[in-house]
Amino acid sequence: MAPTILFVPGFWEGSAPFSDVASLLQAQGYPTEIATLRSTGTALPGNPSMKDDIDAIRSTVGKIVDKGQHVEPGALRCRTPETLLFNDLDEEAAKGWAKKLQSQPASDWEGRVVYCGWRDISSVYLVCEGDQYMKPINQLLSALGTKSKIEKCAAGHMPMISMPEKVVEVIAMAAQA
């Protein structure tokens, strides 16, 4: 049986942008579900929170499981780490590092962050221009959102593995500032 594809819309989107893709996947034999975020389309005061959205996503996943369809039990894993995380390493090294990856729990991420260190401590963001997991534009937006000093390198997602000297250079520079 083909895996069920679950779409979780981002802010503002609702389910409509996923309709065509869902239909095309269904035509190829993939069951699909589109979660409905409770906060989308609402406004202050009294709008649903991130917790309400998380509950809605959990509910949708629950329906998939209740139908007997497969959901990875309780853990998040990267299915293609060689191409997403280790794309700038040779094949043998990428496979070796991929074997060392561990799962991440799939629950308890709804907690509220009570302190963001970057608000009080200067930070440096090393944008990895070869990253296949988090595209450089998204890295730049994250860095700008935290008012971090921006440095760049050609590495993929794991510069500490593929370009350790560059990482050390950036850390040393930040430590001396």
Segment 32-52 shows an average pLDDT of 78
Of 17, 43, 71, the one marking the end of a domain is: 71
Indicate whether 12 and 65 sit together in one domain: yes
Q: Using pLDDT thresholds of 50, 70 and 90, give the confidence band for residue 74.
A: low
Q: How confident is the model at residue 82 (pLDDT cuts 50, 70, 90)?
A: very high
> Is residue 29 over pLDDT 80?
yes
Residues 107, 30, single domain; the answer is: no
Residues 52 and 114 in one domain: no
For the cut 80, the answer to whether the pLDDT of residue 32 exceeds it is yes
- Most confident region among 38-42, 44-48, 87-91 by mean pLDDT: 87-91
Residue of 59, 19, 21, 16 lying closest to 38 (CA atoms): 59
- Is 103 inside any structural domain? yes
Q: Distance (Å, rounded) from C-alpha 93 to C-alpha 160? A: 14
Q: Is there a domain that residue 36 lies in?
A: yes
pLDDT the model gives residue 154: 98
User: Which pLDDT value is given to residue 76?
Assistant: 58
Under DSSP, the state recorded for 177 is -
Q: What is the pLDDT of residues 116-166, one digit of tens each?
A: 777 887 888 999 999 998 999 999 999 998 889 999 999 999 888 899 889
Contact 157, 133 (CB under 8 A): yes
Handedness of CA 127, 130, 135, 137 (dihedral sign): positive
Tokens of 147: 């008012």
Q: Pick the last residue of a domain from 20, 37, 71.
A: 71
Q: What is the mean pLDDT of the chain?
A: 81
**What is the residue range of 160's domain?**
81-176
Confidence at residue 171, expressed as pLDDT on a 0 to 100 scale: 82
Same domain, 171 and 91: yes
Q: Identify the H or E element spanning 125.
A: strand 124-128
In a domain, 61, yes or no: yes
Nearest to 96 by CA among 151, 162, 50, 147: 162
**Which one of 71, 92, 108 terminates a domain?**
71
Helix, strand, coil tally for the chain in percent (to 5) = 40, 10, 45
Q: Is residue 27 located within the same domain as residue 93?
A: no
Q: Which of 13-22, 95-104, 105-114, 151-160 has the lowest average pLDDT? A: 105-114
Amino acid at position 155, single letter: A
47 and 92 both lie in a single domain: no
Q: Is the pLDDT of residue 83 over 80?
A: yes
Alpha-carbon distance 58 to 65, whole Å? 10
Check whether residue 61 and residue 87 sit in a common domain.
no
Q: What residues form DSSP beta bridges with 126?
A: 151
Query: Are residues 128 and 163 both part of a single domain?
Result: yes
User: Is the domain of 89 the same as that of 171?
Assistant: yes
**Does residue 76 lie in a domain region?**
no
Number of domains in the chain: 2
Task: For the chain, give the percent of residues with pLDDT over 70.
Answer: 80
Are 85 and 157 part of one and the same domain? yes
Supply the pTM of this predicted model. 0.58
